[in-house]
Structure 1
């Protein structure tokens, strides 16, 4: 955690009403900071079946409706090591199952960051 300033950004007011309503409904399904499921190590996936594919499809739809770019299964109350993301709006859905960090750079790149579990909070 850094000492970077935390900024509240009210973004929903610039959305068309139907998009804002869909986003608000989706965000009600996302677990918020402080929820115990977000603090618990998620279970490793061992079965790659239709149930997992459906879970991934639902997560992708929810992420899109919430106007997010990434969503982890624990954020929707599922203790699985699954993450969905979309790099470009309308682009293909990316999926990581049982991800592990194998390498990281010592170089820093500063960008704005947000999280669906902390709606309205954006930091650099």
Structure 2
């Protein structure tokens, strides 16, 4: 387990789609361990492999430390509710910046475990927000692209001032 450097906005790698994981071996387990350590140190509640420069479809989400981290390999959203809600979002690649993003309130995802088992799960609330946010990142959609042009420009300017 090791901390890995986090790629910072506006690195072009944050706009690249991640590749499907096909090998469920010890290197995947090491990647998940590194992601967990890096996310906790950031600090954050979610991180993807692309955040550390690894273009693989892996995300780790930990909403509560005592519940432990959840790993989603090759996640894809297969259903979402028509009902939406706004929630404050940010990124470990753009620390110190957050904005409200509107997303479906409930979703269903299909993903694999680190051993390769395929599962489906419904999520709502913060877990639904995090899954959508991280799946976007795996698809090369950095979260600020979900903002209006004006809000996106303001967020970028605030981040540039912080950096």
TM-score, normalization: structure 1?
0.74
2:48 is aligned, of 35, 47, 72, to 72
> How many residues in Structure 1 have an aligned counterpart in Structure 2?
98
**Structure showing greater relative contact order (alpha-carbon pairs closer than 8 Å, 6 or more residues apart):** 1
Deviation of residue 107 (structure 1)? 1.0
What is residue 82 of structure 1 aligned with on the other side? 58
Once the 2 structures are TM-superposed, how far is the Cα of residue 84 of structure 1 from its aligned partner?
Answer: 0.5
* CA positional deviation for 1:90: 3.1
For residue 71 of structure 2, what is the aligned residue in structure 1? Answer: 95
Q: Distance in 1 between matches of 2:9 and 2:86?
A: 23
Does structure 1 residue 36 correspond to structure 2 residue 12? yes
Tell me, which stretches of 5 or more residues in structure 2 are unaligned? 101-163
More helix by share: 2
TM alignment of 1:3-14, pairs within 5 A: none
Runs of 4+ in 1 over 2 A off after TM superposition: none
Residue 46 (structure 1) aligned with residue 22 (structure 2): yes
Q: Distance in 2 between matches of 1:33 and 1:49?
A: 30
Which structure: greater strand fraction?
Answer: 2
Two-structure CA RMSD over aligned residues (Å): 1.4
Classify 1:86/1:65 alpha carbon distance in 2 versus 1 (closer, same or farther; 3 Å): same
Matches of 1:73 and 1:122, distance apart in 2: 21
Distance 1:106 1:117 in 2: 29
Shift of 1:91: 2.1
Structure 1 gaps of 5+ residues are 1-25
Separation (CA, whole Å) in 2 of partners of 1:94 and 1:30? 20
